[in-house]
Structure 1
């Protein structure tokens, strides 16, 4: 079975070359712009050549060549598809196929060197790559690239930006008002503690022509921080009687002043 597979693989490259040559000749005869559509074959053919060498090598000397061969070949196939369909945005999900084809190459390499770990790893990469490809295709083709999503984003995104800017400005204005209120309160407290009127006495009380004081401009709110007048407490236990000796001296002193 393996010998038959190798036999079929040995015919793959020459058959591919014959088909490609025939297509180019047909395009030349019919004046078809084949170069504008088939330029990707300049990438596909080197990939096929490297893949052929990696598979047909019996000594396993070039077995690892299968990995760059798959990368080059897949890149050419993707570019050919995008050239024919003009679907260049498909790169957003087609890159996941590199994981799939790398897993295929790892399986082929593992079977060549009889390594079960490489075969198992290749299978996991194939399954993971396919799952990633399907998921990305659904996200981009059915959601992001859809007309409905584009219309929603066209209105929602600018509305979100404008709303965010308004909220930020409102927050800055609120902080500014709060800081201004605190500063005003501190200034008022300092003026009260200082206890000095901002007006001079001439601005509060003026002199009329007849010599009387004019209190019409007097504003009691101007005078700030006046000391409170406290009543004097008189001790009721203090005796009101004066000592006779002290009274005699006072009378003598008063008498001397009168006579003098």
Structure 2
């Protein structure tokens, strides 16, 4: 396959995936589209994650697609939480996870594409800071689920930072 045809193939696969998803939503009785619409973001994330995995010989350049894919993944997770818990007020601080999606994509792209340890470290820090800020806001302002998950995220983040400092000291 010519490299110029790859984009058309990926977009075609995404459209087919979305079409199959909508088709199933419409023909299977009992499936409530209002609860499953965040699947659109997960299908889009898979569409972005696929090219670097399908064409490993071009992994260094295609690994940049992990960044928008991770953003779509993060949005899908946020929207699933909102839809399942009906906690739409969490959007006041859930947006802090979107830079974490960028960090996750940068981390994955650096790891898979071999971009170097510096960009991998930046991605890890972006993800960690984003999750910790979300955990703090979730603890302070969140619904019942986030009032439990938020402090656990803060405890985990503090423990990981302490373990990192002890490991560097040794």
Q: Give the shorter-chain TM-score range.
A: 0.5 to 0.7
Instruction: Indicate conservation of the 8 Å contact 2:45/2:73, yes or no.
Output: yes
**Distance in 2 between the 1:28 and 1:134 partners?**
39
- Give me the CA root mean square deviation: 2.8
- Could you tell me which residue of structure 2 aligns to residue 90 of structure 1? 90
Q: CA deviation at 1:50?
A: 1.0
**Distance in 2 between the 1:49 and 1:139 partners?**
35
Tell me the alpha carbon deviations over residues 180-221 of structure 1, each in whole angstroms, 9 at most, x when there is no partner: xxxxxxxxxxxxxxxxxxxxxxxxxxxxxxxxxxxxxxxxxx
Tell me the alpha carbon deviations over residues 158-198 of structure 1, each in whole angstroms, 9 at most, x when there is no partner: xxxxxxxxxxxxxxxxxxxxxxxxxxxxxxxxxxxxxxxxx
- Within a 5 Å distance, the mapping from 1:177-196 to structure 2 comes to none
Q: CA deviation at 1:61?
A: 3.0
Instruction: Indicate conservation of the 8 Å contact 1:55/1:66, yes or no.
Output: no
With structure 2 as the length reference, what TM-score do the two structures score? 0.60
**Greater relative contact order, per chain length (Cα 8 Å cut-off, separation 6+):** 2
**Distance in 2 between the 1:35 and 1:141 partners?**
26
Instruction: Indicate conservation of the 8 Å contact 2:101/2:127, yes or no.
Output: yes
**Distance in 2 between the 1:63 and 1:39 partners?**
27
Tell me the alpha carbon deviations over residues 19-44 of structure 1, each in whole angstroms, 9 at most, x when there is no partner: x96xx47x955x31421211222232
**Distance in 2 between the 1:103 and 1:118 partners?**
9
- Could you tell me which residue of structure 2 aligns to residue 43 of structure 1? 41
**1:32 match: secondary structure:** coil
- Could you tell me which residue of structure 1 aligns to residue 131 of structure 2? 130
- Could you tell me which residue of structure 2 aligns to residue 57 of structure 1? 55
Long gaps (5+) in structure 2: 1-16, 144-170
**Distance in 2 between the 1:78 and 1:109 partners?**
22
- Could you tell me which residue of structure 2 aligns to residue 113 of structure 1? 114
| Structure number having the greater helix percentage | 2
**Distance in 1 between the 2:41 and 2:109 partners?**
22
**1:89 match: secondary structure:** helix
Q: CA deviation at 1:54?
A: 3.2
Q: CA deviation at 1:89?
A: 0.8
Would you say how many aligned residue pairs link Structure 1 and Structure 2?
122
**Distance in 1 between the 2:84 and 2:49 partners?**
24
Instruction: Indicate conservation of the 8 Å contact 1:57/1:63, yes or no.
Output: no
**Distance in 1 between the 2:46 and 2:53 partners?**
10
Q: 2:32 aligns with which of 12, 31, 34?
A: 34
Rg comparison, structure with higher value: 1
Moved over 6 A (4+): none
